[in-house]
Amino acid sequence: MPSTSSSSVFTAHSVLTPHGWDEDWADAFIPYAAEGLLPGRVIRVDRGQCDVVTADGVLRADTAFVTPHDPLRVVCTGDWVAVEPDGNPRYVRTYLPRRTAFVRSTSSKRSEGQILAANVDHAIVAVSLAAELDLARIERFLALAWESGAQPLVVLTKADLVPDPVTLGHLVQDVETTAPGVPVLSVSAEQGEGLDVLAAVVAGGTAVLLGQSGAGKSTLANALLGEDVMDVQAIRDVDGKGRHTTTTRNLLVMPGGGVLIDTPGLRGVGLWDASSGVGQVFAEIEELGRDCRFHDCAHESEPGCAVLAALDTGELPQRRLESYRKLMRENQRIVAKTDARVRAEIRKEWKRRGAIGKAAMEAKRGRVR
C-alpha cells in the first residue's frame, strides 16, 4: 500500500498535470509531501498573498515564510510551492527550485531585480503593428527572455491593420533580422489569423506574455484561452498606446494544452545581469568578435576589430552595433552595482584605456615636434 506522501504526490500529478506538473516536479516534492504539505502552482500573487491551485482546489495562502526581503526569492506567478494543508491563515512554506526565471531591473535607484514569472518555457514578446516598430525595444525584451532560460518568440499583433501582404512580409523580415534564432509570427486576434500556429507552438508548456501597454496582450490572451477572461481596453488613437488593462500576473490553462501567464504592460524593461541574453540577441556580433585581433576587444577603435570591419563593409548595420553597445553598457552598470569583482574589473579597464589614450597623445606630440 502506498505511503501517504506517495499517494498525495500521485493525486497531485493527476490533478495538476494541466498546470504543468510532471514527474520531475513530483520527485522534487517528495520531501515536502513527507511533511504533509500540499504541492501547488501559484496562479496569482497580490500583496504578500497568493492564489495556489492544488489537488484540493484553489487556495489563498500567505507568503511571509519565503524570504520576503530578497526580491528575487519572493514567491511569484508560475512557482511550484509547498503549502500548509490547513490553517487560518494558510502559509506557503517554500517553493521548488525554479527551472527558469524572467527577471528585470526595477525602476528604483537601489538596482534591485524583480522576478516577473517562473518556470516558463516560452516567452511571447507581443508587438503591435498599430504603431511603428521599435526594434531596439524588441531587442531588449529578447535579451531578458533569452537570459531567463525560456525560448522567446515574437508575435506581431493586429496584423489586420496591415492589409498589404508585401508590407507585412517586410515588417516580419525586419523583426527576423533583429531576432536571430527567434520565431516571428504575425497574428490577428480579431480575425483569428495565425492563432492556430501560435497555440501549437506554446502547447504543452508554460508561456508568459510580455509587451508594452496597447500591444494587444489581453486580446491575444483571450483568443488563446477561447473566452473573454482578460479585460480589454481600446488604445489611444493619438499614439497607439494603451492603459494598463492587466494589473497582476495571472496563470491560466489554455484549452489546447499548456498554460499562459499574462502580465501587465511593461513601460520599463531594464536589464538584470543579462550578458548572455544580450549575446544571443546579437549573435552575429558575438560571432564576428571571435575574429578580432584581441580577445577582449571592445569593438570601439581597436586595430584588427572584425566587428568594425563588418560595419565598414555594410555587413553589420550601424543601428545593430549601437544597440548592442547600449545594452552591454547598461548591463555592465547593473552588474557592477551588485558585484565588487566586476566593479574592480571596470576600474582596471578604465585605467587601461586611459593609459592607451595617454600614450597615443604623447606619441602624437612627439610626431608634431
* pLDDT tier, 26 (very low <50, low <70, confident <90, very high otherwise): very high
How many of the other CB atoms lie within 10 Å of CB of 64? 13
Give CA separation, 333 vs 71, 271, 301, 364, in Å.
Answer: 19, 10, 21, 33
pTM of the model: 0.79
DSSP string, 272-336: SS-HHHHHHHTHHHHHHHTTSSSTT--SSS-TT-HHHHHHHHTSS-HHHHHHHHHHHHHHHHHHH
Question: What local confidence, expressed as pLDDT, does residue 228 receive?
Answer: 63
Question: What local confidence, expressed as pLDDT, does residue 339 receive?
Answer: 56
φ, ψ at 116 (rounded to 5°): -95, -35
User: How far apart (Å, rounded) are the C-alpha atoms in residues 200 and 90?
Assistant: 37
* pLDDT tier, 355 (very low <50, low <70, confident <90, very high otherwise): low
Strands 80-83 and 101-105: unpaired
Mean pLDDT of the region 86-91: 86
pLDDT of 331 over the 90 cut: no
Q: Is 149 exposed, middle or buried (0-12, 13-18, 19+ CB in 10 A)?
A: middle
pLDDT of 83 over the 90 cut: yes
Mean pLDDT of the region 75-98: 92
From 16-20, 119-123, 173-177, 349-353, the region with the lowest mean pLDDT: 349-353
How many of the other CB atoms lie within 10 Å of CB of 189? 24
Q: Are 126 and 185 in contact (CB under 8 A)?
A: no
Write out pLDDT tens, residues 223-275.
Answer: 888 876 654 444 434 444 444 444 467 899 998 889 999 887 565 566 666 77
Q: Are 252 and 262 in contact (CB under 8 A)?
A: yes
From 96-105, 111-120, 280-289, the region with the lowest mean pLDDT: 111-120
Question: What local confidence, expressed as pLDDT, does residue 91 receive?
Answer: 93
The three cell numbers of residue 40 are 501547488
Write out pLDDT tens, residues 300-322.
Answer: 888 899 999 999 999 999 999 99
